[in-house]
Chains A and B, each alone.
Chain A
Amino acid sequence: MPMKNIDRRNFLKSSLIAGVGLAVLPSLAKGATKLSGSSLPDIASIAGTNHFQSTIDAIEAIGGINKFIPRGSKVGLLINAPGWWTKPGSYTHTNIVLATLKLLNDAGISDICYLIDPAAEFFSRSPLSEKYTSLISSIKKCSGNYVEVNIPNAVKVKKAKVIKELLQVDKLINIPINKHHSGVLYTGCMKNMMGACSGDTNKSFHQSISKDVEDVEHLSQCIVDINHIRKQDLCITDATEVLKTNGPFGPGEIAKINKVFAGSSPVAMDAYGCTLLDYRPQDIRTNVLASEQGFGNYDLKKYSIFEKE
């Protein structure tokens, strides 16, 4: 079980802050950090059914929005909620995006665009959206213009077509959902980068699929390759209600994990995220290939992880 793995890690036990309200978590997280003698956690994972608050608490626990997104930055949002994800557990929860927008707004960051437009009905899925109507309408839509980029360090994908804003924004915030994928078994931060690529580019990752396992290897490598294009500055992963089987499209079994976790290393985030679906980090080829190719390390023992149950 994932929690047993976490026991071995350098994480800040929620018991340290037991009995104290979540509203004051940021300062407590810092206090807890002092207790553990280490710096802020690499990943903060917050459990609860108030996904809006969990998102705010997770970001605050890793140092706050301005640690990752300085005031005046032009920001691109990569949300895994396009129109074709319609089944439960297949798309990022609206309240997680709303909380991110609120934090950006509160921090004086207003130049924000989508790198892929969310579904037309995305914000109407949450009653909370009514409170943030003007904020939502201020986000620029994705241009739909793709540009070709060379990826010199890539193993397989030497050229890809990506949405032009991916290259123009100062900071990239990735907001994927933590779900099952029938091909590569898991999709999180690294896989979500495909959302910024054109349909033709993405299809080329899949088209060699046949009755041969090496094609799963091919897709895994392609995913790692496109992560060379640019760094993810902040990752916020939705592990609230997610597809546990038959992903990424569904319908399938839904796991009600009720967690939101944040960090800045997509490999560490995915290594943590896949354990919530009962995989080991080394079972997911994208984690292994990314680690081998210098994106970070899938070994969770190397990260400090704050968990609030």
Chain B
Amino acid sequence: MRYLIIFMLLSINLTNGIGAELKNILPGNKEIDDWQVVDSIRTIKGNQLFDYIDGGAEIFVEYGFVQAVSATYKDNANRQLQAEVYEMADSAASYGAYSFYLNSEGQNANAGQEAQIIDYYCVVRKGNCVIVISIPQADEGLFKSIEKFASAIASKYNQTNAKPELVSKIEKASIALGHIKYIEGSVGLGNIYRFIPGSAIKFSTAVSFFIDKTKCLVFDYNTPEEANNNAAMALQKMQQSNPDVAFTKTDNGFFFTDFKNNQVKALLYKNYLTFTIGKDVEKAKIAEEKIVEVLK
């Protein structure tokens, strides 16, 4: 009986993916059709991520990276596939990292609630982990295999997919076109919109999404004062760095036109600083009203 209890506890550990060796999560030889591991499964911890993905590591580190495993597989036809699992610090971090893989071309994949297949790769979020299955080039003949790998790995976790609060709030209101990106630092922000200087906006969490053709950013602060102070600091820094740009102050924010002729409008609302970025000012105004409605 005692051994049975120990076995059950170990099993729970493995299926959760918590405390288990992460490399056990990846399929072994011929576990999926005739796919076999080339060389061995690689485990990457902490700063080793910079050896593994060089400049791609920054964004994972910004969210909070714990460890990753990676393996290359070949089938009998010598076709290749790569499986990677990134374990992040928490579910918000995994959502953030996952959201950066998504684009408008993605289709739902048969590998869980949050699973997308995009051109030549599949990305899945499960609990604190992000699963990425990719092939060297787009090959529809391999899409089923990609999904099988993604599904097999995801099924080894039974963690739930908690989302950052602000993401859930916007998602629930159904105002965003497509997916919502979650940002925790300047590396992520720089990949969405390049404020000049890059250090213009200090923040801890933000989200980015589209409403129609308007790019929207919402920065979340602890208090209205904090939001106000950061908005004032952002305006000051941007004015200093962009002497040729005309910044116009409003009652609760400011706006300017960027080099691509987008109107970039900042609005302070409660403990939030929002930006709407787009060429069509009317559409941007509608987008801003929708955001305010959600944040009420």
* Contact among B61, B132, B186 for A216, CB-based, below 8 A: B186
Q: A251-B101, A251-B121 are in contact. Are A216 and B187 (CB under 8 A)?
A: yes
B119 touching A183, Cβ below 8 Å:
no
CA of A153 to CA of B274, assembled, Å: 43
Q: B176-189, CB under 8 A of A: which get 1 and which 0? A: 00000000111100
The verdict on A181 contacting chain B, using a C-beta distance below 8 Å, is: yes
* Contact among B56, B82, B119, B187 for A86, CB-based, below 8 A: B82
Q: Which residues of A contact B158 (CB under 8 A)?
A: none
Min CB distance A197 to B, Å, is 11
Q: A182-B191, A185-B190, A203-B47 are in contact. Are A245 and B54 (CB under 8 A)?
A: no
Min CB distance B98 to A, Å, is 12
Min CB distance B138 to A, Å, is 8
A185 touching B184, Cβ below 8 Å:
no
A249 touching B55, Cβ below 8 Å:
yes
A249 touching B56, Cβ below 8 Å:
yes
* Contact among A87, A209, A245, A285 for B62, CB-based, below 8 A: A209
**B window 109-162: CB within 8 A of A:** 118-121, 123, 132, 134, 136-138
Interface residues in B, total, Cβ within 8 A: 42
The verdict on A253 contacting chain B, using a C-beta distance below 8 Å, is: yes
CA of A191 to CA of B62, assembled, Å: 21
Q: Which residues of A contact B123 (CB under 8 A)?
A: 251
A183 touching B55, Cβ below 8 Å:
yes
The verdict on A129 contacting chain B, using a C-beta distance below 8 Å, is: no
Min CB distance A109 to B, Å, is 30
Q: A202-B50, A216-B198 are in contact. Are A182 and B134 (CB under 8 A)?
A: no
Q: Which residues of A contact B197 (CB under 8 A)?
A: 213
The verdict on B75 contacting chain A, using a C-beta distance below 8 Å, is: no
The verdict on A81 contacting chain B, using a C-beta distance below 8 Å, is: no
Q: Which residues of B contact A283 (CB under 8 A)?
A: 194, 196
Main secondary structure of the interface of B (DSSP, over half): mixed
The verdict on B211 contacting chain A, using a C-beta distance below 8 Å, is: no
B54 touching A202, Cβ below 8 Å:
yes
Min CB distance A307 to B, Å, is 21
Q: A183-B58, A254-B119 are in contact. Are A84 and B50 (CB under 8 A)?
A: no
A285's closest neighbor in chain B, by CB?
Answer: B198
A181 touching B55, Cβ below 8 Å:
yes
The verdict on A212 contacting chain B, using a C-beta distance below 8 Å, is: yes
Q: Which residues of A contact B137 (CB under 8 A)?
A: 88
B55 touching A184, Cβ below 8 Å:
yes
A253's closest neighbor in chain B, by CB?
Answer: B103
Min CB distance A288 to B, Å, is 11
**A window 177-214: CB within 8 A of B:** 181-185, 187, 191, 194, 199, 202-203, 206-207, 209-214
A185 touching B194, Cβ below 8 Å:
yes
Q: Which residues of B contact A206 (CB under 8 A)?
A: 50, 54-55, 57-58
The verdict on A273 contacting chain B, using a C-beta distance below 8 Å, is: no
B101 touching A252, Cβ below 8 Å:
yes
B56 touching A213, Cβ below 8 Å:
no
CA of A249 to CA of B134, assembled, Å: 12
CA of A207 to CA of B61, assembled, Å: 10
CA of A217 to CA of B190, assembled, Å: 12
The verdict on A263 contacting chain B, using a C-beta distance below 8 Å, is: no
The verdict on A73 contacting chain B, using a C-beta distance below 8 Å, is: no
Q: Which residues of A contact B57 (CB under 8 A)?
A: 206, 209
A248 touching B55, Cβ below 8 Å:
yes
The verdict on A280 contacting chain B, using a C-beta distance below 8 Å, is: yes
**A window 134-181: CB within 8 A of B:** 181
The verdict on A266 contacting chain B, using a C-beta distance below 8 Å, is: no
The verdict on B59 contacting chain A, using a C-beta distance below 8 Å, is: yes
The verdict on B3 contacting chain A, using a C-beta distance below 8 Å, is: no
B101 touching A213, Cβ below 8 Å:
no
A248 touching B56, Cβ below 8 Å:
yes
**Other A-B pairs beyond A251-B101, A252-B101, A283-B194, 13, CB < 8 Å:** A86-B82, A182-B59, A182-B191, A203-B47, A206-B58, A209-B62, A212-B185, A213-B198, A216-B58, A216-B190, A248-B54, A249-B56, A250-B121
The 7 closest A-B pairs by CB, nearest first: A249-B56, A213-B186, A251-B121, A249-B53, A213-B199, A183-B58, A211-B185
